[in-house]
């Protein structure tokens, strides 16, 4: 599956559009991680547990979007965008979306 944030793929011709495809996940923070994050907030630095959690969330969202595109017969997704939102105080959503296409 070819993935692109641009509306095209260099050297490929879009021969069919399958429409919008998306994938998302919602992750809640962990109390133990919040304690460590609070300590990092005092001394500064990267909160690696949250960095890892968000990276895993992005990958899971991409996998779900790709699966939806494959089910429609696409071999590429163009115009990919990410969005995040806070669902509640301790949970965030990662949403990825794009246009499923068939390219040659």
pLDDT value for 48:
79
Instruction: Report, in this order, helix, strand and coil percent for the chain, each rounded to 5.
Output: 35, 40, 20
Confidence of residue 37 (pLDDT cuts 50, 70, 90): low
Set out the domains of the chain in order of their start, with CATH numbers: 2-103 (3.30.110.70)
| pTM for this prediction | 0.84
Neighbours of 5 (CB within 10 A): 11
- In order of 43, 77, 80, 82, the CA distances from 70 in angstroms are 46, 10, 15, 19
Confidence of residue 28 (pLDDT cuts 50, 70, 90): confident
C-alpha closest to that of 91 among 26, 25, 34: 26
The tens digit of pLDDT for each residue in 42-93 reads 666 777 778 888 899 999 999 999 999 999 999 999 999 999 988 777 788 9
pLDDT value for 87:
78
pLDDT value for 40:
55
């Amino acid at each position: 599956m070819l993935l692109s944030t641009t509306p095209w793929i260099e050297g490929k011709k879009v021969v069919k559009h399958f429409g919008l495809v998306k994938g998302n996940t919602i992750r809640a923070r962990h109390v133990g991680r919040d304690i460590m994050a609070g300590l990092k907030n005092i001394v500064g630095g990267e909160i690696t547990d949250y960095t890892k959690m968000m990276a895993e969330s992005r990958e899971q969202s991409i996998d779900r979007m790709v699966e939806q595109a494959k089910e429609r017969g696409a071999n590429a997704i163009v115009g990919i965008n990410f969005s995040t939102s806070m669902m509640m105080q301790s949970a965030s959503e990662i949403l990825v979306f794009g246009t499923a296409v068939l390219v040659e």
